Structure 1
Amino acid sequence: MEHHLPQHTFGTAPSWDNTFFEEAHQQAPPVSIRLNPLKETQSFDSLARVPWCTRGRYLESRPVFTLDPLFHAGAYYVQEASSMFVAQAFEQHVKKQQALKVLDLCAAPGGKSTLLASLLEQDDLLISNEVIQTRASILVENMTRWGQMNTWVTNNDPKDFGRVAGFFDAILVDAPCSGSGLWRKDPKAIDEWSTENVQLCKERQQRILADVLPALKKEGILIYATCSYSVEENEQIVDWLIRDMGMESLPMQCDPDWGITETLSPEQKGLGYRFYPWKTRGEGFFLAVFKKQEGIVTDSLYHSVSKQKNNQKAELELHQKMRPYLNTDFEIFTHKELIYAINPVHMPYLEPMRNAFYIKKAGTAMGQILKDLVPEHDLAMSVHLSDAVSRIELSHEEALHYLKKESVKTADGYKGWQVATHQGLALGWGKWMPNRMNNYLPKHYRIRMDIP
């Protein structure tokens, strides 16, 4: 089916040129990935770098990522290069004086959440939220692959975050939008675009922002982003945030060689940053940064509930059983017979957050005690997995068969629970017995396509 670009659609957009726009959309989009700094590999050392993101890399062509074990290991995330500019916004404006609390409000499938996670320290806390349940499940999978204990996933409406007023130091709102910036990657979206939908998106963006801003503390940082070219969804939102919501627009420092276009909002009150595919090596993207001028600074959630010690002896014994599996400090809690490890700094948040939100992932799921520990996939993927845990290194072919949930490497000498690895990075658990191996990769993680 042939798709025709709307004519004169964005004539009011800053630095717009319809000729360049159409020429750019005749070219193949660039392919880019972002490396996980906590799962090092030398496989991508020779790749060209995304200039505005330290860990971003361009690929020469698009491979079948499903058939790359390093993708399943969480060594990298496939992310559009322009979106990685969020790293600049965060690093330039989110200043750390104590452990940070960060919210990614519209987080699925997880690209910007894994980016933010890579910028945080262990004592910082990232809440990645997605309102649509099926998308929230995908978000959990991607955050599990990334492997950090300090990333939690919630499944809530933006208005629910009004329950934790002034709690977050920084909030990212990658708002649902009309998607015109991704037409080159998804031509089908052209047929779904309309000026009416742009207006609906603008109204939804305002509702989302108005709902979540109470959760941002005074002088906290808001990062607003879309993949739309429309002024209504970008610069007009900037003016609305300044005029009606008491936000202060913050400038960004950009290298001129990056090709990013700085724009002034219609009321000339705020700045935005646009990515055009004829100027940058990436897709259409918009970003603006704000500081909240009014509001409260509170950590009341932290102090509202103290940890309950129902059975200190039993908890201590359970903690000792879990101690050999992780190389970092942690406390434990149980939920539906599963044992979880959590950063001690974050433990006081757990019960208040449970009361306020539907939490789909918190800390690291360790497993269930039957006779011994039956470990969870989350534990295998953790960047804190202890070196004392037994591992079996798999070749590329063996790794693919493991990822299809097939039996691999049943040679003598392997016994009990082992973490299957490729290039030293974990893929998941297996249990080895004489002459056979039971593959414990969760079914929803398995490769469903044929292996060439």
Structure 2
Amino acid sequence: MSNILPNSLVRRLGSNPLFDQEAFLAAHESGEKLTSIRINPKKETKLDFDLDSQVPWCKNGYYLESRPKFILDPLFHAGCYYVQEASSMFIDHIIDFLKLSSEEIKALDVCAAPGGKSTLLNACLNQDSLLVSNEIIKSRSIVLQENMMRWGCANVVVTNNDPSVFRRLPGFFDLVLVDAPCSGSGMFRKDEDSIDEWSEANVKLCSERQQRILSEILPSINSNGYLLYSTCSYSIEENEEILDWLIEEYNLESIQVPFNSAWGIEETASPKNRAFGYRFYPHKVKGEGFFIAALKLKNIQPSFSFKKMKFEKSPVPKDGLNPWVENMEEFSTLVHNENVHIFPKHLEASIKALQQVLYLKNAGTLIGKWLGKELVPSHDLALSIHRNKTLPAVELNIDEAQNFLRKKQLNIEIFSSVKKGWCLVNYKGESLGWVKVLGNRINNYYPKEVRIANL
């Protein structure tokens, strides 16, 4: 048996005569660390490091030969890419197969922090779709909000709610992703400390928690809507047995997702109903342990009623926002405590519905604070793909960009061509944030809470 992995886990996996136990153990004992990123298709620029090869099941996913210090990379802070484990990028392939990118839908990522799967969904779904990224734990929802802000799109709502609250949105979503809290055995190679926390009792506890989350969230899926269920666990109790439970309790239909056999993914069948699941093992794929399944709702669901939605006129004149937002006529505004949010106009009814039911951390893009006659721009606007491209901007070199990210004072000579007022600072053409040019100095407005503390 392995000196690293729990014997009971290895024994269970080894009971499958097709499972290569020796190769599985060797993959964990090798200590190999893989690094993969996913490019933001709305912020494509030349990176400061080389991409090795493409993740075969994700059009924007790439492996790296070595792991850079991402915290020092201005393009990481600009939201040009997201560092994500390659196996979980298989969601991109499933979305393509289900053809969900070809139409406007409403999607929900229930357990979304830190934001990898939400940024993936936002990139691969139709640009007119609405994405709700939810996280139940308040501290983790802050990280989720920061990562979605970096991604830069206004068709996203970040929420901080228990899954039970979504029962108040019957039949609202066309797609729900539940990346369920699990025992974490699939991450053992990446995080050896988690091995000490693993136990069969915790597997059972996680299975019960997963069933609770699913039972709470299923009413929010509309008739013929889709559920994607995933974990980073190897345990059948958290994977295939959950599929059997879903089919028997809620009459869901299992969906088989075709894939290239050369990818090394293992298609499995649940014990009772032969539901399709997809397992990723580190000795077979370039990625960590992962499980995912796609299911379709067959029941006729009650639908959320939009009849009682009330729309208040925004106190902010749109011509006051035109200098800041490109194509402002395509957006609606929401004002809360003088903070102005924008979101696509066609999503207004949905945003209002969410506002009445959920606790929202952020809706669309927070573009700034309206002070009656002028806007004080937010950091979110600086990173938004919707900001006006004619706004004043100055290009920084790598040292200047890192100093900006540390919230250090910048040399006023860099901004000699800029008149007084707000100015974006760019690195390789991508915005990092705001400065304010004054007569004799530059005020750095990079947020304290996300600054680089050490270089």
Taking structure 1 as the reference length, the TM-score comes to 0.94
Map of 1:209-224 to 2, 5 A cutoff?
209-224=214-229
Is residue 25 of structure 2 the alignment partner of residue 22 of structure 1?
Answer: yes
How far apart, in 2, do the equivalents of 1:424 and 1:265 lie? 49
Q: CA deviation at 1:165?
A: 0.4
Residue aligning to 2:134: 129
The one of 119, 131, 137 aligned to 2:124: 119
Give the 3-state SS of the residue equivalent to 2:342 in structure 1: strand
Question: Hey, what's the Cα distance between the residues in 2 that align with 1:223 and 1:211?
Answer: 15
Q: Residue 331 of structure 2 corresponds to which residue in structure 1?
A: 330
Write the deviation string for residues 63-95 of structure 1: whole angstroms up to 9, x where unpaired: 111001110000000000001011111221253
Instruction: Report deviation, 1:298.
Output: 3.0
Q: Is the 8 A contact 1:52 1:84 kept in 2?
A: yes
1:388 alignment counterpart: 390
Q: Which AA in structure 2 matches 1:343? A: P
Match among 140, 159, 166 for residue 154 of structure 1: 159
- In the alignment, the residues of structure 2 paired with residue 176 and residue 23 of structure 1 have an alpha-carbon distance, to the nearest angstrom, of 27
- 1:172 and 1:395 map into 2 onto residues whose CA distance is 40
- In the TM superposition, residue 297 of structure 1 has moved relative to its aligned partner by 6.1
Matched, 1:5 2:5: yes
1:378 maps to: 380
Aligned counterpart, 1:230: 235
Paired letter, 1:247? L
Shift of 1:10: 4.1
Aligned equivalent of 1:321: 320
**CA offset at residue 19 of structure 1?**
1.6
- In 2, the alpha carbon distance for the partners of 1:46 and 1:200 equals 40
Deviations 1:350-384 (A, max 9, x none): 33211210000101111113363210011111011
Amino acid at match of 2:6: P
> Is residue 2:39 matched to residue 1:35?
yes
Quote how far apart the aligned CAs of 1:99 are: 2.2
Asked whether 1:398 is paired with 2:393, we answer no
Note closer, same or farther for the CA distance 1:96–1:401 as it changes in structure 2 (3 Å cut): closer
Does residue 1:288 correspond to 2:293, yes or no? yes
Q: Secondary structure at the match of 1:325?
A: coil
How far apart in 2 are the matches of 1:96 and 1:79? Answer: 21
**CA offsets 1:247-294 (integer angstroms, 9 cap, x no match):** 100001110111000001111430100000000000000000000010
Corresponding residue for residue 51 of structure 1 = 56
1:247 aligns with 2:252: yes
Instruction: Tell whether the 8 Å contact from 1:171 to 1:222 is kept in structure 2 after alignment.
Output: yes
**Structure 1, 151-160 or 114-123: larger mean CA deviation:** 114-123
2: distance between equivalents of 1:120 and 1:422? 28
Paired residues of 2:58 and 2:90 also in contact (CA < 8 A): yes
Task: After superposition, give the CA deviation of every residue in 1:311-349 in whole Å (9 maximum; x if it has no partner).
Answer: 7xx54xx21110122223111121011111121111122
> Aligned partners of 2:194, 2:81: CA distance in 1, in Å?
27
Of 119, 135, 143, the residue aligned with 1:138 is 143
How far the C-alpha of 1:215 sits from its partner, in A, is: 0.2
In the TM superposition, 1:73-92 aligns within 5 A as: 73-92=78-97
- Provide the identity percentage: 47
Gaps of 5+ in 1: none
| Unmatched segments (≥5 aa) in structure 2 | none
Q: 2:113, 2:205 → 1: CA distance?
A: 21
Say whether 1:171 aligns with 2:180: no
> Are the aligned partners of 1:264 and 1:272 in contact in 2 as well (CA < 8 Å)?
yes
Q: In the TM superposition, what is the alpha-carbon distance from 1:46 to its structure 2 partner? A: 4.5
Provide the secondary structure at the position in 2 that maps to 1:288. Answer: strand
Q: Deviations over 1:289-316 (max 9, x none)?
A: 0000103263523x4314133x7xx54x
Structure 2 counterpart of 1:409: 411
Query: RMSD value over aligned CA atoms?
Result: 1.7
Tell me which residue corresponds to 1:348.
349
Partners of 1:116 and 1:81 in 2: how far apart?
14
The one-letter code of the counterpart of 2:131 is L
- C-alpha distance in structure 1 between counterparts of 2:93 and 2:302, whole Å: 25
Q: How far apart are the structure 2 equivalents of 1:158 and 1:333?
A: 25
Report the CA distance between 1:193 and its aligned residue. Answer: 0.2
**C-alpha separation in 2, matches of 1:383 and 1:72:** 14
Q: Distance in 2 between matches of 1:417 and 1:327?
A: 17
Counterpart-to-counterpart distance in 2, 1:8 and 1:355: 47
Equivalent residues, number: 443
SS in 2 for 1:39: coil
- Report what 1:444 is aligned to: 449
CA–CA separation in structure 1 for the residues paired with 2:340 and 2:102 = 32
What per-residue deviation string (whole Å, max 9, x for no partner) do you get for residues 17-64 of structure 1?
A: 332121001231210000000001132675311010010011111111
Give deviations 1:184-203, integer Å, cap 9, x for gaps: 11100000000000000000
Contact 2:51–2:64, Cα closer than 8 Å, also in 1? no
Displacement over 4 Å in runs of 4+:
none
Q: Quick one: distance in 2 between partners of 1:3 and 1:123?
A: 51
- Cα distance in 2 for residues equivalent to 1:268 and 1:165: 27
1:143-170 residue CA offsets vs partner (Å, 9 max, x unmatched): 0000000011000000100000000000
Verify the 8 A CA contact 1:103 1:172 in the aligned structure 2.
yes
Question: Aligned letter for 2:336?
Answer: H
